[in-house]
């Protein structure tokens, strides 16, 4: 019989492979980030729910699984948010310039920082422990802004691929959030894309590669801007949000920018 230390070493090397969830093109979805996802917000119209990692708990995810839904857990991987429970763990040197006026209370993170990555590892640990099927890491496109650190597309590619390795090691699927400029360099490690406003910005062609690879584009348009009105979107607004080249490859929903429970599918 092998000595115990050798046996433990062999067990650590030959771990069984964990199947990573891969949704299909056309998978329906809903995204709710401003409040816990409770039963009144859950319907069978949407197979996937994208929910906040911190304001929901494990019982929420267990409930969604019981109702045969998959769960993507949202986290900001590239910006500092002062209202998160781990915000005091970021160093001042980790924080760069502010984001846009709309998100004036957030600051770009130095994604090359070992401390930032340690915090992200802990967030992925939380996602795995809570039972999330995958993660939606936001704000990985700091290279396209005055981030304060000189972050480049190469930095973003390295960081996103690092996030993918860390997520997959925990049995979590992962998607690319926006960041059209690096699609071709990271798509092999992604299970989907989450895109905001490619129809409005005329950028949807930049994400078609996901559909062609058999991976969904979970697509959001904001026809009402930041308005929280719950009334249906008019036909003209619906057409520009939902009808564009290769739109059949996109899982499009229309939302308010506050990303509450209001949704209108195409």
Q: Which fold has domain 4-265?
A: TIM Barrel (3.20.20)
CA pair distance 124, 74, nearest whole angstrom: 10
* pTM of the full structure: 0.92
pLDDT by 10s per residue, the chain, length 266: 455 445 444 444 444 567 999 999 999 999 999 999 999 899 999 999 999 999 999 999 999 999 999 999 999 999 999 999 999 999 999 999 999 766 678 999 999 999 999 999 999 999 999 999 999 999 999 999 999 999 999 999 999 999 999 999 999 999 999 999 999 999 999 999 999 999 999 999 999 999 999 999 999 999 977 667 778 999 999 999 999 999 999 999 999 999 999 999 99
pLDDT of residue 225: 72
What is the pLDDT, as a whole number, of residue 80?
Answer: 98
pLDDT of residue 105: 85
């Amino acid at each position: 019989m092998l000595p115990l230390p050798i046996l433990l070493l062999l067990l650590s090397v030959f771990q069984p492979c964990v199947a990573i969830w891969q949704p299909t093109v056309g998978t329906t979805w809903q995204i709710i980030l401003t409040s816990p996802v409770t039963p009144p917000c859950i319907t069978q119209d949407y197979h996937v729910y994208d929910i906040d990692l911190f304001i929901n708990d494990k019982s929420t995810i267990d409930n969604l699984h019981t109702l045969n839904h998959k769960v993507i857990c949202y986290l900001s991987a590239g910006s500092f948010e002062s209202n998160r429970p781990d915000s005091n763990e970021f160093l001042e040197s980790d924080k760069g310039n502010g984001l846009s006026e709309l998100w004036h209370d957030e600051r770009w993170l130095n994604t090359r920082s070992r401390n930032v990555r340690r915090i992200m590892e802990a967030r992925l640990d939380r996602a795995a422990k809570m039972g999330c099927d995958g993660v939606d890491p936001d704000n990985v496109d700091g290279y396209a802004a005055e981030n304060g650190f000189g972050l480049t597309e190469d930095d973003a590619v390295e960081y996103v691929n690092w996030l993918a390795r860390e997520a997959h090691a925990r049995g979590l699927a992962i998607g690319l959030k926006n960041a059209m400029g690096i699609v071709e360099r990271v798509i092999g490690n992604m299970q989907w894309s989450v895109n905001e406003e490619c129809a409005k910005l005329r950028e949807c062609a930049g994400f078609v590669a996901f559909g062609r690879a058999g991976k969904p584009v979970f697509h959001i348009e904001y026809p009402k801007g930041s308005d929280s009105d719950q009334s249906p979107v008019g036909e003209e607004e619906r057409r520009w949000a939902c009808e564009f080249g290769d739109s059949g490859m996109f899982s499009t929903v229309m939302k308010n920018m506050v990303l509450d429970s209001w949704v209108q599918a195409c």
